[in-house]
């Protein structure tokens, strides 16, 4: 069943605040995103229909946008619907970071015999925390038992043997297997009949578009097409918002792009959910991502640091030339 060694709060609900290293600090630069910029490093939230695979949806998005590099941030089964974030261009370097932001689903569980609402709620509580899962036979990963986190599991409605539920969980959780295991613990058996993904990290259903809408936008004349695409393409900051943030000077960003560790003098601001040993995303003051980092210190430690290593780079996003072009416009 589950243990509770870690927090049950979904990453997008973890409270955080921005902390400035110095009282006299530069402000953020509010620079609008261009279409070229979003097609180089952006995300589109597709409302996936039943039927196609996630790979097929990604391929259609590439064709519609006329781009060569795009892929989804986490598979949805062909029968599942809902939020399928598709990373574009160098945004794919952020895939592992997106996987750390958690996911949320709404589904219908069909019980094989009648069970009381109270019994279902009791069993749901037992599945909150760390659970053990073996991936199903038809999966793209090795079928080894692994631990996944269930942050929240809520019974929304019941209609006879059909149970509408909401689950917030760690990436890589198999909801179909979760439904089967719930039925097993209830002693009556159960299977999943409907599944819809409603959230991935900081991205929710609110910004989703249908494939048909994207197809229509792709066939508009150039100026109209640009206006529509600027509304439906998103910067990566939104989906990554649950990940701790570190805002740095351009000179520090260039050093990180060369593979150097991020040192304390290069830090301008950071969020209070920063933890030692955990993932963070480094940004310049125009709020563009620089790199996925592994933090070496907590927010509390960083506040008083004047020297020393703050974080180590794992994946660098922009080119060094792009960062050098910001030297005269950003701190």
Same domain, 158 and 180: yes
In whole angstroms, give the CA distance from residue 277 to residue 23.
Answer: 27
Same domain, 213 and 260: no
pLDDT of residue 3: 37
pLDDT of residue 141: 65
Q: Report CA 154 to chain centroid distance, whole Å.
A: 21
pLDDT of residue 135: 77
Within a domain: 6: no
In whole angstroms, give the CA distance from residue 279 to residue 276.
Answer: 9
CATH number of the domain encompassing residue 285? 2.30.130.10
Q: Which of the residues 22, 30, 47, 77 is marked catalytic?
A: 77
pTM for the model stands at 0.93
Same domain, 159 and 110: yes
Q: Helix 211-218 to helix 54-65 angle, to the nearest 10 degrees?
A: 20
Within a domain: 262: yes
Same domain, 132 and 174: yes
Same domain, 107 and 191: yes
Within a domain: 140: yes
In whole angstroms, give the CA distance from residue 266 to residue 52.
Answer: 46
Within a domain: 329: no
pLDDT of residue 2: 38
Angle, CA 315 vertex, CA 9 and CA 281 arms, to 5°? 40
**323 C-beta neighbours (distance < 10 Å), count:** 24
The region that residue 138 occupies, defined by phi over 0 for left and psi between -120 and 50 for alpha, beta otherwise, is: beta
Residue 88 CA neighbour count, 13 Å, CB half: 26
Phi, psi at 154, each rounded to 5°: -125, 130
In whole angstroms, give the CA distance from residue 43 to residue 46.
Answer: 9
Same domain, 64 and 208: yes
Within a domain: 3: no
pLDDT of residue 296: 98
Same domain, 314 and 291: yes
In whole angstroms, give the CA distance from residue 79 to residue 103.
Answer: 17
Contact 272, 16 (CB under 8 A): yes
CATH number of the domain encompassing residue 185? 3.30.70.3190
pLDDT of residue 137: 67
Of the candidates 2, 289, 303, the one whose C-alpha atom is nearest the C-alpha of residue 152 is 2
R_g of the chain computed on alpha carbons:
22
184 tagged catalytic? no
Same domain, 76 and 120: no
Q: Which residues are bridge partners to 204 per DSSP?
A: 199
Q: How many domains does the chain have?
A: 3
The pLDDT profile of the chain, 331 residues, written as one tens digit per residue, is: 433 346 789 999 999 999 999 887 889 998 999 999 999 999 999 999 999 999 999 999 999 999 999 999 999 999 999 999 999 999 999 999 999 999 999 999 999 999 999 999 999 999 999 999 987 766 666 778 899 999 999 999 999 999 999 999 999 999 999 999 999 999 999 999 999 999 999 999 999 999 999 999 999 999 999 999 999 999 999 999 999 999 999 999 999 999 999 999 999 999 999 999 999 999 999 999 999 999 999 999 999 999 999 999 999 999 899 999 999 899 9
What 3-state class would DSSP assign to 180? Answer: helix
**170 C-beta neighbours (distance < 10 Å), count:** 20
In whole angstroms, give the CA distance from residue 307 to residue 330.
Answer: 22
Please name the residue ranges forming H helices in 74-210.
95-99, 117-126, 175-186
Its domain, for residue 125, covers: 102-195
Within a domain: 27: yes
Same domain, 120 and 255: no
CATH number of the domain encompassing residue 207? 3.30.2350.10
pLDDT of residue 138: 67
Same domain, 39 and 25: no
Within a domain: 137: yes
pLDDT of residue 300: 96
Q: Which residue in this structure is represented by tokens 């794992």?
A: 314
In whole angstroms, give the CA distance from residue 76 to residue 26.
Answer: 42
Same domain, 129 and 209: no
In whole angstroms, give the CA distance from residue 126 to residue 141.
Answer: 26
Of the candidates 243, 244, 282, the one whose C-alpha atom is nearest the C-alpha of residue 260 is 282
Contact 170, 163 (CB under 8 A): no
Same domain, 210 and 93: yes
Within a domain: 9: no
Of the candidates 181, 256, 229, the one whose C-alpha atom is nearest the C-alpha of residue 38 is 229
For residue 244, give both structure tokens. Answer: 């701790």
């Amino acid at each position: 069943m589950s243990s509770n060694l870690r927090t049950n709060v979904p990453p997008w609900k973890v409270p955080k605040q921005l902390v400035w290293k110095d009282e006299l600090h530069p402000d953020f630069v509010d620079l609008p995103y261009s279409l070229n910029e979003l097609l180089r490093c952006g995300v589109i939230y597709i409302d996936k229909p039943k039927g196609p695979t996630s790979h097929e949806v990604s391929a259609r998005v590439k064709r519609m946008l006329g781009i060569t590099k795009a892929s989804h941030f986490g598979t949805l089964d062909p029968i599942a619907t809902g939020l399928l974030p598709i990373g574009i261009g160098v945004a794919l370097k952020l895939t592992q970071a997106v996987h750390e932001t958690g996911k949320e689903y709404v589904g219908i569980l069909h019980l094989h015999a009648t069970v009381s609402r109270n019994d279902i709620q009791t069993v749901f509580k037992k599945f909150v925390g760390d659970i053990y899962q073996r991936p199903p036979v038809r999966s793209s990963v090795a079928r080894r038992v692994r631990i996944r986190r269930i942050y929240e599991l809520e019974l929304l409605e019941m209609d006879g043997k059909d149970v509408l539920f909401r689950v917030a969980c760690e990436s890589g959780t198999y909801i179909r297997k979760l439904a089967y295991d719930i039925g097993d613990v209830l002693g009556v058996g159960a299977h999943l009949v409907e599944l819809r993904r409603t959230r991935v990290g900081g991205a929710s259903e609110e910004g989703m578009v249908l494939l048909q809408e994207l197809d229509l936008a792709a066939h508009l004349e150039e100026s109209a097409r640009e206006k529509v695409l600027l509304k439906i393409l998103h910067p990566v900051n939104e989906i990554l918002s649950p990940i701790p943030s570190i805002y740095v000077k351009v000179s520090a960003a260039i050093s990180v792009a060369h593979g150097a560790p991020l040192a304390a003098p290069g830090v301008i601001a950071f969020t209070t959910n920063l933890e030692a040993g955990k993932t963070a995303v480094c940004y310049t003051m125009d709020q563009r991502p620089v790199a996925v980092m592994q933090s070496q210190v907590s927010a509390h430690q960083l506040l008083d640091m004047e020297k020393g290593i703050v974080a180590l780079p794992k994946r660098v996003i922009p080119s060094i030339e792009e960062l050098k072009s910001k030297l005269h416009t950003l701190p």
